[in-house]
Amino acid sequence: MIYIDGTLHKNGNDAKISVFDHGLLYGDGVFEGIRVYRGRPFRLQAHLDRLFAGARAMRLEVPETAARIAELINGMIESDGRREAYIRLVVTRGAGDLGLNPRTCPRPSLVIILDDISLYPREFYEQGITLCTASWRRPPADCLNPRIKSLNYLNNVLAKIEANDRGCHEALILNKEGLVAECTADNVFYAERGRLFTPDLSAGALEGVTRGAVLELAASLGIEAAERRVNLYDLYAADECFLTGTGAELVPAVEIDGRAVGAARPGPIFARIREAFARLVEEESALRPEFAGARR
């Protein structure tokens, strides 16, 4: 089920955007990936807040209010009847001239896609995945701010290609200082002596919604958790490592650059956080449908 600028399509082949859309031509737009659990979008308000903040940062006018977008998403979920799903929410600059000047785009476009997603096989969540460090570095914020979840994901795509070529499941991306930013589509956590750490956002990480939920859960479980400047040594010497993201949810990493992480299997802190995350999803899914405040 796909919504495009006021029209709902139930066949993906019928859903089309202009070849002159600057989202396609120049990656000029923002997006969000949102999980649906038990018929309810997980932390919809947080996703919409991030979408609107990113759009403001790149001077992109979202063509609907947050409240209207929330209404559309919840209506699509109800109409489709799927209990477990994935929402891809996209705002592009819209159709314009072949030049990159945004002034040639009179109206932005809003696209909402309701579909399924499965990034990793089930056994990866039980056995763990392997990581390698990409040679591609994260651009600094004064070149392209990574906190904007824009349609320009080339840096991540190139790192993912490198991971594929090296036979790894995911790639770590470092910034120009050599600090760990994140993976191609996930935030990074590691455990050391019972404490949990994740890279500071200033290193070039996206402020992930699942990342935020994990920090909350750690506090509720009495696990000391903090953001910090993280280098590869920290991950090589860690007792545990795991990744978080809307698509991947929580997945353990058991090898980094050919080095076993801890005992080379998912650790006890990951197990506690994963179990708590499952409870959180169940609890929040039992609440009434979420309608975001009208924000521009």
Q: Would you say 119 and 146 are in contact if contact means Cβ atoms under 8 Å apart?
A: no
Q: Which of 275, 268, 262 is nearest to 220 (CA)?
A: 275
Q: Would you say 69 and 48 are in contact if contact means Cβ atoms under 8 Å apart?
A: yes
Q: Would you say 2 and 111 are in contact if contact means Cβ atoms under 8 Å apart?
A: yes
Helix (H, G, I), strand (E, B) or coil at 22: helix
Question: How many whole angstroms from its chain centre is CA 79?
Answer: 25
Task: Give the Cα separation of 273 and 217 in Å (integer).
Answer: 7
Q: Which of 111, 36, 109, 32 is nearest to 74 (CA)?
A: 36
Residues acting as catalytic residues: 149
Task: Give the Cα separation of 43 and 283 in Å (integer).
Answer: 12
Q: Which of 231, 247, 227 is nearest to 184 (CA)?
A: 247
User: Within 13 Å of residue 147, how many CA atoms lie on the same side as its CB?
Assistant: 14
Residue for token pair 């995911």: 170
Which pair of structure tokens corresponds to residue 270? 């990951």
Strand partners, 242: 189, 252
